[in-house]
Structure 1
Amino acid sequence: MQSILVRMESCQANPAAFSTADGLPLAVDVRHAAGKPTLLFAHGFGQTRGAWNAAAATIAARGCRCVTFDSRGHGESGRMSGGDYHMQQFVDDLLALTHAQPEPPILVGASMGGLLGLVAAGEVRPPPFRALVLVDITPRWETAGVERILAFMQAHPDGFVSYAEAAEQIASYLPQRRERKSEQQLRPLLREGADGRLRWHWDPALLSGDLISESERYQPRLFAAAAKVEVPVLLLSGERSDVVSQHTVEEFLALVPHAQHMQVPGATHMLAGDANDAFTAAIAGFIEDLESAVDTA
């Protein structure tokens, strides 16, 4: 009974205070604070730490310390005055959170979070991470998939009159999901404005031309960083992804020949949400291999 209670408690998300170097508060949750190894989860552009809830709870119950956070301008984290966002700010935030952990973490990064992890893992010495899990992202991405994501994010600047209307739009964007999001699930993703309308959680300034165009200019840096990654790497891709393709995967594996690749059947770019059981099982297996390598060293 005691072990069951410990596992249940480890699944609970406990908030932790954290501020960036330039003073922005970041919303951070820690599950199983005393667990090992540490996993730091970095979400994708336009997502929140809530995207990791199911995976982080499952992995924490296995005995790991799991840390999730909202990037600046996302969710409950602070927003830049004047909306002046740059990619290096996100890299610096990730490194600051990494260095705040009791040990070098395994970084699990989806989309934008994975790209930030690649930059940090390739450019910083000693490596800030024990290992790197890239979730449906490679240094080169398929433009059509990214454009589809941005089109959804830009589609409703005036927000929604109700949670039901927002749920309908998400269902259209993610037709592979069988269940529509409930109001309770949507509350962390929407903010009610003074006009009573519900708008997405992200700062609209994130969608300005500067940050988006800057991400394209980051590609040479990403390729250079990937070629210098020394830590173990697991690339998880969705079988139905329109952001990662066989070509981009092969290109990445040529750059990082020691990386492992696993394709998750039926999953799209929203891999953790589409196939959470397969996603968490892949990460658990990767962790077990890392631990076994340490035991036999």
Structure 2
Amino acid sequence: MHCDSICISVDDDHIDGTFAVPRTGVPGILFLHGWTGSQQSDLKRAREIATLGCVCLTFDLRGHAATEAMRMQVTPRQNLHDAVAAYDALANHPMVDKSAMAIVGSSYGAYLATILTSFRPVRWLSLRVPALYRDEHWVLAKGQLDRMDLTSYRNSEISPEENRALAACARFQGDVLAVESEFDDLVPHTTIANYVAAFRQAHSLTYRVIAGADHALSEKAARDAYSALLVGWIREMVLGAR
């Protein structure tokens, strides 16, 4: 909402008035799904958030859904290109306010989301169980990475100076939601702690743990808890700023 002053002629005099004018655009929210996932996992939440007055975009990263055949060859760099292209498509939607962009990422998608903030303006960033990868993995086939090496890396204390995703977090100045699953067997607490500690300049940081949840939110109760948390945060942060 913004205000425009107006001078209104009346008889041989004038009076002052003020137009309270809604912004021409609405918030745009981009969803980034996790590895081996698809946009189907985000559609229900996207539809719910759209009812709040947002334009939401879900999409399938290369190596998933219709392009699953290339999964063992696609690299994180290629998937970042997917994310940038999707962001641009959302930002160019005629209803979207380009200054009110949010990203909602899960796992691998959350990792990509943090890096995307280095290339495009993002005001709100939601990260559910954000995964972490070595910088040297950037141009390697994601589906062929050593799982034991990843587990070891994610259980290590890592600073923003040592990782491109954490470095992006350290530069981010918007609002952040970080969500951990209590019984996550893929993204340990140490990884979440590395992310949370990296947000040195964030305007606000909300950190929550979903009790009893695994990485994939296999149980309906966990999925419902996450949905309620995300929608509540979007309502407070994104819509509250309008």
TM-score, with normalisation over the residues of structure 1? 0.56
Secondary structure of the equivalent of 1:37? Answer: strand
Is the CA contact 1:55–1:276 (under 8 Å) kept in the aligned structure 2? no
Matched with 2:209 is: 263
CA–CA separation in structure 1 for the residues paired with 2:133 and 2:73: 25
Q: CA deviation at 1:63?
A: 3.2
Of structures 1 and 2, the larger Rg is shown by 2
Count of residues in correspondence between the two structures: 194
Matched with 2:123 is: 130
CA distance 1:108–1:43, shift in 2 (3 Å): same
Matched with 2:167 is: 224
CA–CA separation in structure 2 for the residues paired with 1:270 and 1:226: 23
Matched with 1:91 is: 80
Q: Which moved more, 1:38-47 or 1:277-286?
A: 277-286
Matched with 1:294 is: 241
Q: CA deviation at 1:66?
A: 2.1
Structure 2: stretches of 5+ with no match in the other structure:
1-24, 135-140, 154-161
Q: What RMSD, in angstroms, separates the aligned Cα atoms of the two structures?
A: 3.5
Matched with 2:46 is: 56
Secondary structure of the equivalent of 1:207? Answer: helix
Q: CA deviation at 1:133?
A: 0.6
TM-score, with normalisation over the residues of structure 2? 0.67
Going by fraction, where is helix more abundant, 1 or 2? 1
CA distance 1:233–1:261, shift in 2 (3 Å): same
Secondary structure of the equivalent of 1:280? Answer: helix
CA–CA separation in structure 1 for the residues paired with 2:31 and 2:79: 14
CA–CA separation in structure 2 for the residues paired with 1:273 and 1:128: 34
Is the CA contact 1:118–1:225 (under 8 Å) kept in the aligned structure 2? yes
Establish whether residue 114 from structure 1 lines up as the match of residue 50 from structure 2. Answer: no
1:17-62, Cα deviation, whole Å (9 max, x unpaired): xxxxxxxxxxxxxxxxxx9422211111111111123322322333
Is the CA contact 1:107–1:129 (under 8 Å) kept in the aligned structure 2? yes
CA–CA separation in structure 1 for the residues paired with 2:58 and 2:239: 25
The residue type paired with residue 136 of structure 1 is V
Structure 1: stretches of 5+ with no match in the other structure:
1-34, 142-204
Q: Which moved more, 1:282-291 or 1:82-91?
A: 82-91
CA–CA separation in structure 2 for the residues paired with 1:292 and 1:50: 24
CA–CA separation in structure 2 for the residues paired with 1:273 and 1:75: 23
Q: CA deviation at 1:291?
A: 3.7
CA distance 1:138–1:47, shift in 2 (3 Å): closer
CA–CA separation in structure 1 for the residues paired with 2:236 and 2:171: 22
Secondary structure of the equivalent of 2:193? Answer: helix
1:122-179, Cα deviation, whole Å (9 max, x unpaired): x22xx432311101115479xxxxxxxxxxxxxxxxxxxxxxxxxxxxxxxxxxxxxx
Q: CA deviation at 1:272?
A: 7.9
Going by fraction, where is strand more abundant, 1 or 2? 2
Is the CA contact 2:29–2:55 (under 8 Å) kept in the aligned structure 1? yes
